Amino acid sequence: MQTVRQIKQLRKAVAAFRARGGTVALVPTMGALHAGHMALIAEARKRADHVVASIFVNPKQFGPNEDLAAYPRRAAKDAAMLVEGGCDLLWLPEVETMYPEGFATSIAVSGLTADLDGAARPGHFDGVATVVAKLFNQVRPDIAVFGEKDYQQLAVIRRMVRDLDLGIEIVGVATQRDEDGLALSSRNAYLDDAQRAAARALPRALGDAATAIGAGEDAANAITRAWSALEKAGFGPIDYIELRDAETLMPVDDVTRPARLLAAARIGGTRLIDNLPIEPRPA
């Protein structure tokens, strides 16, 4: 696997892939890789001839009171995992490369970013859209692969690609989970043993609510039970538990087309997010 840190080197490496023929897939990450990320690499390998992964802890998507300084950085271990996963190229830029002096451009995707994590983390999705647009322009992939755990982020990126005619196929990969059901996340490392045990209540509560809603129960009642279950487990504050249309992320009361049940809540000082799909019942 090649590792490059400068845009000129990146363009040369990707051009060499193109010269050999075939397609290029990009897997953008912020590092601290785990099995969830490796599932994205595996999916990219299935869909493309050459796989590029990026590792960049993007300061523009962190708020002033968020964990930018504490976010885990372990490039050597991550690179070893990517080699084992069959990645062809690691794009590992510095902040100064991504945001040189005088950088003044931001991309905002309205509507989809108005609430949920957009409300809880003002400016977050502008930072996501901006860095992903830059990565797309730098690598120029045919395919880009993202996890469904960050479902609102995935929806934002799909809308940006569609609106800007970027011509990149966006692939979502189902949330990868630990044996206890907790969604794999780099931030799980912040949980102590007691918090980790309590955190299992999040996928259980969402799963119970999704099952009930899918069976036709009133969504508000199912969500109220899920909220109570999280509070009982020690979560707080709970930012949201919401039933949304899977494409538009508009609120829905019942499931007449594919929907998502999304939640975000803190256990200790760690903010966890999760979501589950709900399909409409057959007519």
pLDDT at 10: 98
Q: Can you tell me the mean pLDDT for 12-18?
A: 96
pLDDT at 147: 98
Q: Can you tell me the mean pLDDT for 178-195?
A: 94
124 catalytic, yes or no?
no
Across the chain, what does the average pLDDT equal?
96
Which pLDDT tens digit goes with each residue over 40-69? 999 999 999 999 999 999 999 998 878 788
User: Is 2-173 assigned to CATH 3.40.50.620?
Assistant: yes
Q: Is the peptide bond before 237 cis (omega within 30 degrees of 0)?
A: yes
> Which is the catalytic residue, given 34, 37, 50, 124?
37
pLDDT at 6: 97
Please tell me the CATH superfamily of domain 186-276, with its number. Answer: Pantoate-beta-alanine ligase, C-terminal domain (3.30.1300.10)
pLDDT at 282: 81
Any idea how long the chain is? 283
pLDDT at 70: 81
Task: Give the list of residues 6+ apart from residue 177 with CB closer than 8 angstroms, or none.
Answer: 183, 184, 203
pLDDT higher than 90, residue 7 = yes
pLDDT at 158: 98
Q: Can you tell me the mean pLDDT for 132-161?
A: 98
Domain boundaries, the chain: 2-173, 186-276
